Amino acid sequence: MLLDNKSILITGGTGSFGKAFTKYVLDNYNPKKIIIYSRDEFKQFIMQNEFKQYADKLRFFIGDVRDKERLTRAFEGVDYVIHAAALKQVPACEYNPAEAIKTNIHGAQNVIDAALDTGVKKVVALSTDKAVNPVNLYGGTKLVSDKLFIAANAYAGSKDICFSIVRYGNVAGSRGSVIPFFHNIIKNGGTELPITDYRMTRFWISLQQGVELVIKALEESKGGETFISKIPSFKITDLAQAMLPGCEMPEVGIREGEKLHEIMVTREDSMMTYEYEKHFIVYPHFEWWDDSKIQAGGKRVEQGFEYSSGTNTEWLSVEQIQEMLINHTYKTSDYEVFYKQDGKKLRKIYKLPYFPDRICQWAILQVIEPCIINNLTADTYSAIPNRGIHKGLTKLQSAMWNDPEECRYCLKLDARHYYQSINHDLLKEKYSRMFNDNELLWLLNEIIDSIETAEIEDLTAIYLLEEDIDPETGIPIGNYLSQYSGNYYFSSFDHWIKEQKHVKYYFRYMDDMVIFGKTKEELFALKKEIDIYFRNELKLNIKENWQVFPSYVRGVDFLGYRTFYKYTLLRKSTCLEMEKKMTAIRNKVEAGNMMNYSEWCSINSYKGWLKYADTFRLYQKYVVPLLPYADDYYIRNIKPSTKKGLKAS
């Protein structure tokens, strides 16, 4: 087979595409080795852990495409190169044009030169729709990059090497797409989704389709071709209605440099474009190109043809999702798996495509959320509107400050490997007791069974006894439904602790729990009963770090704060992280550089966190100096039409 016993190198290999391509190749071929070439050693470390079972096949090479010498060393003995490295964020490229040119243009030429000098057989470069009739610097640099890779075939001489390109737009749901923007509005309680222009359309491509297109290019390219997948289009207005049915959609006007429609094949390219069953190929228009190299099975498109999201013949609609659900043809898509650093913890995150999976799950939430919330006691504060971290904190403060006798001692505990340990059958049973709709239950069961998040080799770390091991265990961190399912899984325990054990002060945030009592003895006795309940009723185990301690001596560390008698402090790790971030932002802006959106959000976030604790000096030291800069960013970039900004309150 094509990639069997071959050495493959991926530039920018730790990104979403690199991981997906690596997984696809390892699942379907037997490569000699895959070399991950990238700049970030931490991302390489994360990827090494994710693919640890393939350690004998993977190599991790730290380097930059700007460094031709390093590329040449990395390319020795390599058969195929996939060039995915680029500076891709449009605003970043606009603000740092020289850096974009160094990576996207000079880096492309370095890849070409290194491949020509080392005996590489094929190079496939990833392009973008923004390289077609570019209106921003990123698109301009990628256009030049595409031209370089096509022209490189003329310099191959007698060498057995060819260069080709694959072109597609942003993967649906990526950070630069409209979908996360809409989702964030909905998540924060918004009831309307702004539309730049009611006529706007976009192409829809999944990560899997992107990987398959690269494989096709490796299989079929002769040198100089641009491969383009046939993919469906969608209207931005249809997407908005699918994500938030019945929402208002104010038209806010198209942004500078934004296109109404995405274009993959221009009218000018039509003279050398051939249409195949699932893709187009734009062949090079050079004297050195031989028409005999044109892939069989295609037909030349009509002169003047344009492949645009606005004139596409294939469309996604809300009705398509409905049809899949009615006919029971819906199956949960493959998960994209990645790791995220959460404090000192490295969490395994599972991500689904927006179409149809996240849209389906969002629709389910609209139905089940009120039912789940009604079933919960007033003592839980996770994944519930208007009952988040700060609501839980104020309730805990009220108990400790107003009833010190009942809160003299604290029992603090949580479940071992909670998300990985949730039992599928038990969760299904809980849902079946709440809902009598067979269609809904079928869909919930399909999603629950879509993954076993607990790896078999790790199960002994979850369960105390070997006979307790159940491989059909776990729900994925990252699913829309997971937080609600995880919260609901504990609802029977909440009712037991309040209604049968008559605990006065009990607080839960997912599996993190705080219980107050008058004496140590009563809390130790309660912990033993909880241990039995966990094992028998929930098939869970208490984490080993549970504690019983005097509340007012050391404070209660819960929800990111440490609450004492009459005052509250930030958790030490939160303080250190804030100091690090705020100092870095201050150094940046005082050097004359503008903050980015993420940094602006961090300032607002810490401002909110500090509001709920006795942290006046921290606020004055780290936040107040940044407020004028944050205010300026808000006026320039968030809401240019208003002079309202952040206030130092």
One DSSP character per residue, 507-529 reads EEETTEEEEEES-HHHHHHHHHH
| Nearest Cα to Cα of residue 449 among 477, 429, 424 | 424
* Strand stretches in 76-160, DSSP E: 80-83, 122-128
Which candidate in 43, 88, 122, 130 is catalytic? 130
Q: How far is CA 422 from CA 177, 368, 401, 540, in A?
A: 33, 19, 35, 8
The single-letter DSSP state of residue 492 is H
- Look at the chain and count its residues: 649
Phi and psi at 135, nearest 5°, equal -125, 5
Is 285 within 8 Å of 272 (Cβ atoms)?
yes
Q: How far is CA 224 from CA 53, 124, 153, 412, in A?
A: 36, 10, 6, 64
| Nearest Cα to Cα of residue 141 among 128, 155, 156, 150 | 128
Long-range contacts (CB closer than 8 Å, 24 or more residues apart) made by 217-223: 217/124, 217/164, 217/165, 217/166, 218/2, 218/3, 218/80, 218/122, 218/124, 219/2, 220/295, 221/122, 221/124, 221/162, 221/164, 222/162, 222/293, 223/153, 223/156, 223/162, 223/163, 223/164, 223/284, 223/293
Angle, nearest 10°, between helix axes 16-28 and 207-220?
A: 60
| DSSP 3-state percent helix, strand, coil across the chain (nearest 5) | 45, 15, 35
**Which structure tokens are listed for 225?**
């071709």
588 catalytic per annotation: no
| Nearest Cα to Cα of residue 378 among 544, 270, 459, 499 | 499
Catalytic residue numbers read 130
